[in-house]
Amino acid sequence: MGKPYKIMASIGAALVFLIIIGVLGLTFFINPNNFKPEIAAAVKDKTGREIILEGDLKLALFPGLGLSTGKAALSNAPGFQDKAFATIEQSDIHIKLLPLLLAKKIEVSQIVLKGLALNLARNKQGANNWDDLTASSVIKPAPAVPDLSKETETETAFAIGGISIENAHINWDNQKTGKQLEIKDVNLEANQFIFNEPAEVDISFVIFHPRSRRTESIKLTSAVTINRKLDNFRFNQLELHYTASGESIPGKLLTAFLTAPAIAVDLSRQVAKATGLQIKSGEVTISADEINGSHIKDQPSFQGPVAIAPFSPVKVMKQLAIAPPAMRNANSLSSLAISFNLLATADSIDLQNLVMTLDDTRIKGSTSIKDFSPPAIAFNLNADALDADRYLPPEKAVDKSSKPLASPAAAIAASASLFLVETLRKLNANGELSLGKLKINSLTMQDIHLKLNAKNGIITTQQTVDQFYQGAYSGSVNMDARSNVPTLSLNEKITQVQIEPLLKDVHGKARMSGIANASAQLQGRGNTSDELKSSLNGQLNFLFKDGVIKGFNLQKIIDNSKALIKGTPLPTDNKNDQTVFSQMAGTATVSNGVIQNNDLVAFSSKARVNGQGNVNLKSEQLDYKIIAKLIKTKATATEPEQFHDTPIAIKISGSFSKPVYMLDAGSLLTDKNKAKVNKLLDKLDKKLGPGASDILKSFF
């Protein structure tokens, strides 16, 4: 039985020997350069392009059947620039002989391309200069839904042992958008290429943007699996290094490192899936356990959970050469962490189940951005507690009592005035923000709700504070930024607010206490806060109950004046001077930033007060006069209260923070009292010399 096998082996060996002799004969007696015209004609027939083979064609036998070319060029598509579509300096391809001859398998042992240059272009009509090369190879979608993890195709009859691309160069000219790119230093190494089997791939290249002079360097390594139809790709243990440099890059240099255990792309189904995705750049680490993509060719959409690990925004700003803002709290912006469910398309980003922790503040909700140019922003956020003061610029070393008191609506208006009109005009936002606790401009409040709507230059806000110094606040702001000088209107109302703790928080001390109820309806226009103040017009009304004005003792002023007129000793000073009133009310009009009040009414146990005057909102100066009628007898069931004949007039000047009270002593002078005063003045002139009484005259 052994002899037939030996005969068959001998015959097989003889056939292999004859094949080898035949191939050797081909290499010695056939010159491949003689076939250049036939090759050019075949390329012309199949592609309609001209191919120019400048270098020599060489055949080789070992280590396999090989073909080497010198310099070659493929012409461009009709209608595009008169330059080569592709050129190559040198190429080598080697095919294993025995698999080809014995099993009809094409096994390429190695492909080497050196100096490849591609000139890719898109004309103004949107046509590409490679469309004619791919028009006949459109891949139809598979009728059944394939499993990305399995392949059912038959065993491949094509394999490449190794691929090497050295110093390739790609130019991209998009005449439709005017965008140009230069991709250079393209190098690729792959240990093998067999359909449906992983190949270790190492690729690197540099992208240069001529307009911005920005350079991007990319290096990728992965085990890549590709199916025979070239519509199913899998990347295992992918690593990508990215570096960007240039004047347009913050800090002139940006680096990032991306890793993913598995990425699968199925073009036939237009789906993609990435697991274990992680991106690191400086202090920031972004992770996604699983991201799924759909309609990736025509309407790409990606979704999945994303988490950004805690990092320091201040450190990131420094790394990007961005100076952190000066803030009152040195530890502000020291920690930020974010997690959300991502839904991203080509023109939108939607973040659901958003959880963000900024320093000591925790924020939950959702936000989205649509139509990136210009962006349309929507949000619904809820924060537990925010100390906004810690992020504000440090306060100047001035008396805290001179700090202006700004309402929430006024603060919003002042903040809006910091932005350019063009920015406000482009703002497109709609959403709601709720906060459990808020501190801003030293004011503390609880249960805050803010609604914002901005579109086409019209900006409106509605804000409420359910717990505002034991009372409540509500307000709205409307801004029209469609013209170069924006116009603004605001409405505000406070009810049952304890004014003393409010003033202490803002000024460090309170000159007044009591329960305040007030409302305001104001309009103004301007590009700055001062312009808005100077142009304000509108109405105010106020009512204070059970109040105390500290530092102002109406009864003492009256008693001092009486003592001076009578020539008796003045009462001693009292550091706790104050005036108690049961109610103070009034209305006011605002014109060009000046508040005019003509109907001030106040009630105390000893007097009834009426007043009028004005307040300049820009300079914060007071010009007021009040008239007090002293109660002679209180009202009874049958008789109204009676007043003394002589009213008391008091002038108020100075500023909000430092008011000055001065008695209009002339109002106390009856004919009888005038005679007493004149005698007193004469005595002073005789005793101290002429002119000594001028001081008292000016007082009266």
Element (H, E) at 518: strand 512-525
Asked if the model's pLDDT at residue 356 lies above 60, the reply is yes
Read off the pLDDT of each residue in 73-91 and give the average, rounded to a whole number.
Answer: 87
| Strongest mean pLDDT among 34-48, 53-67, 143-157, 421-435 | 421-435
Q: Is residue 447 part of a domain?
A: no
Q: Give, in degrees to the nearest 5, the angle at Cα 624 between 635 and 596.
A: 100
Question: Do residue 585 and residue 647 come from a single domain?
Answer: yes
Hey, what are 432's tokens?
A: 């709601």
Hey, what are 446's tokens?
A: 């609880």
pLDDT at site 155? 46
Give residue 417's pLDDT band: very low, low, confident or very high (50, 70, 90): low
pLDDT at site 7? 47
Q: Domain boundary at 371, 392, 413, which?
A: 392
State the Cα torsion 580-585-589-590 to the nearest 10°: 40
Asked if the model's pLDDT at residue 185 lies above 80, the reply is yes
What would the pLDDT profile of 274-292 be if each residue is shown by its tens digit?
A: 999 999 999 999 999 999 9
421 vs 115 pLDDT, higher one: 115
Question: Do residue 271 and residue 191 come from a single domain?
Answer: no
Question: Do residue 102 and residue 179 come from a single domain?
Answer: yes
Number of domains in the chain: 3
Question: Do residue 181 and residue 276 come from a single domain?
Answer: no
Residue indicated by tokens 């290096």: 219
State the Cα torsion 554-559-560-564 to the nearest 10°: 150
Read off the pLDDT of each residue in 597-602 and give the average, rounded to a whole number.
Answer: 91
Question: Do residue 592 and residue 636 come from a single domain?
Answer: yes
Distance CA 194, CA 226 (A): 8
453 vs 142 pLDDT, higher one: 453
Q: Are 504 and 510 in contact (CB under 8 A)?
A: yes
Read off the pLDDT of each residue in 438-462 and give the average, rounded to a whole number.
Answer: 90
| Strongest mean pLDDT among 256-260, 505-509, 660-664 | 256-260
Give residue 604's pLDDT band: very low, low, confident or very high (50, 70, 90): confident
66 vs 210 pLDDT, higher one: 210
Q: Is residue 216 part of a domain?
A: no
Q: Is residue 554 part of a domain?
A: yes
Which of 191-200, 345-354, 668-677 bottoms out in mean pLDDT, i.e. has the lowest?
A: 668-677
Q: Is residue 26 part of a domain?
A: no
Q: Return the SS3 of 619.
A: coil
Question: Do residue 234 and residue 278 come from a single domain?
Answer: yes
Distance CA 316, CA 256 (A): 13
pLDDT at site 666? 60
Q: What is the CATH number of the domain that holds 344?
A: 2.60.450
Give residue 406's pLDDT band: very low, low, confident or very high (50, 70, 90): low
Read off the pLDDT of each residue in 366-390 and give the average, rounded to a whole number.
Answer: 91
Read off the pLDDT of each residue in 82-86 and give the average, rounded to a whole number.
Answer: 87
Q: Give, in degrees to the nearest 5, the angle at Cα 38 between 37 and 39.
A: 90
Question: Do residue 264 and residue 160 come from a single domain?
Answer: no
Read off the pLDDT of each residue in 417-446 and give the average, rounded to a whole number.
Answer: 85
Q: Domain boundary at 345, 369, 392, which?
A: 392
Asked if the model's pLDDT at residue 491 lies above 50, the reply is yes
Biggest CA pair distance of the chain: 161
Question: Do residue 121 and residue 238 come from a single domain?
Answer: no
Q: Is residue 581 part of a domain?
A: yes
Distance CA 308, CA 356 (A): 9
What would the pLDDT profile of 580-594 be if each residue is shown by its tens digit?
A: 888 889 999 998 888
pLDDT at site 151? 44
398 vs 57 pLDDT, higher one: 57
Asked if the model's pLDDT at residue 178 lies above 50, the reply is yes
Question: Do residue 237 and residue 198 come from a single domain?
Answer: no
Whole-angstrom CA distances from 366 to 205, 307, 343, 377 are 38, 15, 11, 11
Asked if the model's pLDDT at residue 144 lies above 50, the reply is no
Hey, what are 80's tokens?
A: 């595009």
Q: Return the SS3 of 421.
A: helix
Question: Do residue 233 and residue 205 come from a single domain?
Answer: no
Read off the pLDDT of each residue in 55-59 and give the average, rounded to a whole number.
Answer: 77
Read off the pLDDT of each residue in 497-523 and give the average, rounded to a whole number.
Answer: 88
Which of 79-83, 140-144, 560-564 bottoms out in mean pLDDT, i.e. has the lowest?
A: 140-144
pLDDT at site 147? 47
> Above pLDDT 70, what percent of the chain?
76
Question: Do residue 46 and residue 174 come from a single domain?
Answer: yes
Q: Is residue 277 part of a domain?
A: yes
pLDDT at site 679? 61
| Strongest mean pLDDT among 110-119, 199-208, 316-325, 675-684 | 199-208
Question: Do residue 239 and residue 366 come from a single domain?
Answer: yes
Read off the pLDDT of each residue in 551-576 and give the average, rounded to a whole number.
Answer: 62
pLDDT at site 568? 57
Q: Is residue 448 part of a domain?
A: no
Q: Which domain covers residue 343, as residue numbers?
A: 229-392
pLDDT at site 300? 93
Q: Is residue 286 part of a domain?
A: yes
Q: Domain boundary at 392, 424, 456, which?
A: 392
Q: What is the pTM of this model?
A: 0.74
